[in-house]
Chains A and B, each alone.
Chain A
């Protein structure tokens, strides 16, 4: 589920930039960025397995909990800070977005759009919590505790004084190119935002 946004994120990352990948998992995105974009990259992850996987790949990684913020990272120490498909799993998503634009000049955030027509229909017609390819969990075991919609995220950016530099969507099949969809909040399965402080 995560990988479909990697290519789009990669396109947004400038060559040779310094990148911090939050909730970096096994470091696949980082490895791609280092290989394809010549970035100087490092990751953060709370899981011991993830840290070990990154170290195995020769990546630089920091074992830490995003819910505690990024206190160990200096202001504007990175060009780009990435959070791929994990915003909805954090306890304090607003705080982490704020931290991302403190530590990096640019923040790239991708998340599943809860206002996509599939979850809408499941809730509207089925009357039950949506379960889909992008959100494959039952309500009682989902790690996704802070789901939002594209409109919600735009509002957050506005309230946080963030300028949206890029806004990309993925809808339908995985291979399909990003769409400048009509009604993205209804049609996009997931969204990728690149934001900076205004």
Chain B
């Protein structure tokens, strides 16, 4: 569910930048600054593309009833689709992510894609080998149709008239994107947190279209605690007077509410240890308490900054819709049990957990593994030792790259794309 871009941290508090991210950031910015343009290991300059499905028969039938039509999907691709179309990998994003998974939008773009550390030439998801597809989920606010898009019925933004969407709906929209791109069967689907849920949904509802699945830091059903945190976030947004029942697009957006929602969410992406290490009880720019409610502690100013900067790039209604999709995610609901849900799965799995992730602790990943094993699916489980909490999947490049790369390479040998 993680915080889209761990690299986009506040400039005023450089000490909070996590070391792994800091290293990458500095190196790549350095290369660009030196005028090298496409930095080594980077997917290079990329651009977000859009495809609109507005033809008869292209309506998106929604799990909650009704249809979405027309709709647009924003996407990016890196690398080249092979002639035999056997090297396509879909990378699915988390709550706050978007289609921009790798590379930069311009030579002086300081913020690379949200999984740039993993995607590029020679990286874990090697763009010299694979054709990588990133796309913004429907309901999103980064180019795909969502609550801020125009409602064709009224000519005004949907707001809360936008239908409730689910993880399955997101995946079905991605399937149409693959049709558009001429990809019949994915070599792999890879994603963390909400992205991991999409990966699981792919394996379950389109078993014939995906060969390898790599879900990271996720669950087969949204855990109670995560629903609880999401509800706090939603209530914060709805309590903001600027929210106005979700129809705020002609006025001020509910920035305060969204910012609080993001602050709560952000805490769940870190860990006690990581917070202790990054901030401790350090005060910010002062020697002693101010004895006021101003943000004395570094952790306070960090969270405020995270909350505020999030409001510049994210739509509050999308936050409501996507957290709802997360909460509704439960593979056992439609199938009775997880074992039953996985019955028709043909994909091979590599399931990754992160030791200090308390939003999706390793036991939730092991639950997926056990259910897959119960029906003799090919599944491997790997637990990354990390103290970064849930966000580890956006940070621990060195600990993930090898095993994911190895899994993709060995799995590619057993892949026969459909015709």
Q: Which residues of A approach B to under 8 Å, CB–CB?
A: 18, 40, 42, 48, 51-52, 54-64, 72-74, 77
Contact = CB atoms under 8 A, between A and B. Distances in A.
B410 A62 contact: no
Nearest to B349: A60
B414 interface: yes
Contact of B373 (A48, A55, A77): A77
Contacts of B383: 63-64
A48 B404 CA distance: 13
Contact of A57 (B350, B376, B379, B410): B410
B406 interface: yes
A55 B381 contact: no
A96 B406 CA distance: 30
A48 B67 CA distance: 46
Given A61-B380, A63-B381, 20 more contacts: A18-B376, A48-B382, A48-B403, A52-B402, A52-B403, A52-B406, A54-B380, A55-B407, A55-B410, A58-B410, A59-B380, A60-B380, A61-B381, A62-B369, A63-B380, A63-B383, A73-B370, A74-B370, A74-B373, A74-B374
Contact of B413 (A58, A63, A72, A77): A58
Contact of B380 (A48, A55, A77): A55
B397 to A, nearest CB: 15
Given A57-B410, A58-B414, A72-B369, A64 B381 contact: yes
Contacts of A57: 410
B378 interface: yes
A64 B373 CA distance: 15
**Per DSSP, are chain A's interface residues mostly helix, strand or loop, or mixed?**
mixed
A51 B402 CA distance: 11
A57 B78 CA distance: 27
B370 A55 contact: no
Interface string B377-419: 0111111010000000000000100110011011101100000
5 contacts: A51-B380, A60-B378, A60-B379, A62-B381, A74-B374
B211 to A, nearest CB: 13
Q: Which 10 A-B pairs have the closest CB atoms?
A: A58-B410, A56-B406, A63-B382, A55-B406, A62-B381, A61-B380, A52-B403, A55-B407, A60-B378, A63-B383
A33 B19 CA distance: 43
Interface string B199-237: 000000000000000000000000000000000000000
Nearest to B366: A72
A87 to B, nearest CB: 23
Contacts of B413: 58
B241 to A, nearest CB: 49
A170 to B, nearest CB: 32
Interface of B: 350, 366, 369-370, 373-374, 376, 378-383, 385, 399, 402-403, 406-407, 409-411, 413-414
Contacts of A52: 382, 402-403, 406
Contacts of A40: 376
**Per DSSP, are chain B's interface residues mostly helix, strand or loop, or mixed?**
helix
A33 to B, nearest CB: 15
Contacts of A72: 366, 369-370
Contacts of B385: 48
Given A62-B381, A64-B381, A55 B369 contact: no
A55 B403 contact: yes
B414 A55 contact: no
A54 B402 CA distance: 12
| Residue from the set A54, A60, A73 with the largest chain B CB neighbour count within 10 Å | A60
Contacts of B380: 51, 54-55, 59-63
Contacts of B381: 61-64
Contacts of B410: 55-58
A59 B349 CA distance: 11
A55 B376 contact: no
A48 B385 CA distance: 9
A55 B366 contact: no
Nearest to B383: A63
A62 to B, nearest CB: 5
Nearest to B410: A58
A56 B413 CA distance: 11
Contacts of B373: 42, 73-74, 77
Contacts of B407: 55
Contacts of B402: 52
A123 B373 CA distance: 47
Contacts of B406: 52, 55-56
A58 B411 contact: yes
B403 A51 contact: yes
Contacts of B403: 48, 51-52, 55
| Residue from the set A52, A54, A55, A59 with the largest chain B CB neighbour count within 10 Å | A55
